[in-house]
Amino acid sequence: MLYQRSSALFEEAQKVIPGGVNSPVRAFTAVGGTPIFVEKAKGAYLYDADGNTLIDYINSWGPMILGHAHQPVVDAVIEKAKKGTSFGMPTQIETEIAALAVRMVPNVDKIRFVNSGTEACMSAVRLARGYTNKDKIIKFAGCYHGHSDSFLIQAGSGAVTFGTPNSPGVTKGTAQDTLLARYNDIAHVEQIVAENKNEIACIIIEPVAGNMGCIPPAEGFLQALRLVCDIHNILLIFDEVMTGFRLAKGGVQELYGVRADIVTFGKVIGGGLPVGAFAAREEIMNHLAPLGPVYQAGTLSGNPLAMAAGLAMLTELNNNTEIFDSLAKKTEYLHKGLANVMQQNNVAHTINRIGSMISIHFSETPVTDFKTAAEANGENFKTFFHGMLREGIYIAPSAFETWFLCDALTYEDLDTTIKAAATVAKTLQ
């Protein structure tokens, strides 16, 4: 496949946009090479600027669970646009999507819409702090909750449990309020809680992690977190920006039967438009302005185009009872196919999968947290990524990302993908 036009477009973009991209992972830094500029997409396929067709396993990093340019979503946006694109006044459609979301998601009474997953997580943490009157938060190494200051934290040195900034611009003061725990390690969480008695407002977690590859929670881990939170008056925040409306109608709360206090959303809930949201039971949500003292706002929040796309998406997911099972079956089929070709070529690998999320790490040991994800063979991943791309398969350009399957993928597409992997596996160590 040729990427002349993409390369030229990337050159132009770099002159006026830092790194040529508006979000860093798009720049292919982790795998090398030139990012592909997309022209359009339909169903499971991407059509790039050079006229190549690619089978898409990223789906805009999750939102396009029904496939690209899904007709009911496109129609809803077009119809809304004709009536004006923003008013800064309430509209009925905001109530419609809120009511539907609250019906679909367990343990929440009210929801507020924002414009991104970052904003949702940032606001959820502020709400948790305002509600509990405590300052510190616990997050897990390898979990991503957007790019707001409190989350850009890495492990501190030695025995100290408070984090240090992992980006210039994040102050030490902010970093000291974020405590970093190991994913799937409840003893570590208990230790941090014991060391910071009555200071922790919330624990925020990707209840199924998708930002270090796909890493499901160990058996009993989420239940144990719930217990720690109950004992110590800590709010449990499930960041379901990735998993919400993807793994089940009610997300991970429904799937694992564990109750969160605040849930954040993004990606699928906006149907491909910029939307985030956070939800909780009434007593917590009523702490938000204008009812309560915790301030949070947005000029374009609840934007009618975004709400129309989200409502069309959620309506379809709510009505189509088969979809989550059917997606999980396709993902299992892909898993088996990929595992087969890797075994046949003696390539050390670990494939993690849940529902329509799947990822491959080139590692012999189970991948259960950030450390084990980071220990996998990165060179093999780069070779695999570029090999798959040559075969017309677009997977995430980093081993620290999950793949997302969409409903538009056919078993024929999956067979094409497995066949491509068989070719590429021969080039791996």
Task: Give the whole-angstrom CA distance, residue 27 versus residue 18.
Answer: 10
- Strands 110-114 vs 178-181: parallel, antiparallel or unpaired: unpaired
The span from the first CA to the last CA of the chain, in angstroms, equals 24
Long-range pairs, 68-73, Cβ under 8 A, ≥24: 68/41, 68/42, 68/43, 68/44, 68/272, 68/406, 68/408, 69/40, 69/41, 69/42, 69/43, 70/271, 70/312, 70/313, 70/316, 70/408, 72/312, 72/315, 72/316, 73/271, 73/272, 73/309, 73/312, 73/313
DSSP string, 59-70: TTTTT-TT-BT-
Task: Give the whole-angstrom CA distance, residue 90 versus residue 11.
Answer: 43
- Give the residue closest to ligand PLP by C-beta: 117
Strand partners, 393: 55
Closest separation between CB of residue 145 and ligand PLP, Å? 5
Distances from the Cα of 387 to the Cαs of 156, 217, 334, 336, in angstroms? 37, 31, 17, 20
Tell me if residue 48 is catalytic: no
Tell me if residue 267 is catalytic: yes
Closest separation between CB of residue 270 and ligand PLP, Å? 8
Between 52 and 123, name the residue whose CB sits nearer to ligand PLP. 123
The catalytically annotated residue of 139, 267, 330, 382 is 267
Tell me if residue 239 is catalytic: yes
> For residue 119, what are its two tokens?
């904003």
Task: Give the whole-angstrom CA distance, residue 92 versus residue 116.
Answer: 21
Between 216 and 276, name the residue whose CB sits nearer to ligand PLP. 276
Closest separation between CB of residue 85 and ligand PLP, Å? 20
Using alpha carbons, select from 139, 225, 146, 135 the residue that is nearest to residue 180: 139
Closest separation between CB of residue 88 and ligand PLP, Å? 22
- Ramachandran angles phi, psi of 67, nearest 5°: 100, 165
The catalytically annotated residue of 56, 177, 239, 413 is 239
Closest separation between CB of residue 118 and ligand PLP, Å? 3
Cβ atoms 41, 293 nearer than 8 A: no
Distances from the Cα of 364 to the Cαs of 282, 323, 357, in angstroms? 46, 33, 20
**Helix pair 411-425, 323-344: axis angle to 10 deg:** 20
HSE, side-chain direction, 13 A CA sphere, residue 410: 5
Closest separation between CB of residue 3 and ligand PLP, Å? 26
Enumerate binding residues for ligand PLP (CB under 6 A): 116-118, 121, 144-146, 206, 210-211, 239, 241-242, 266, 276
Between 163 and 387, name the residue whose CB sits nearer to ligand PLP. 163
Task: Give the whole-angstrom CA distance, residue 304 versus residue 88.
Answer: 10
The catalytically annotated residue of 3, 144, 256, 394 is 144
Residues that are catalytic? 144, 239, 267
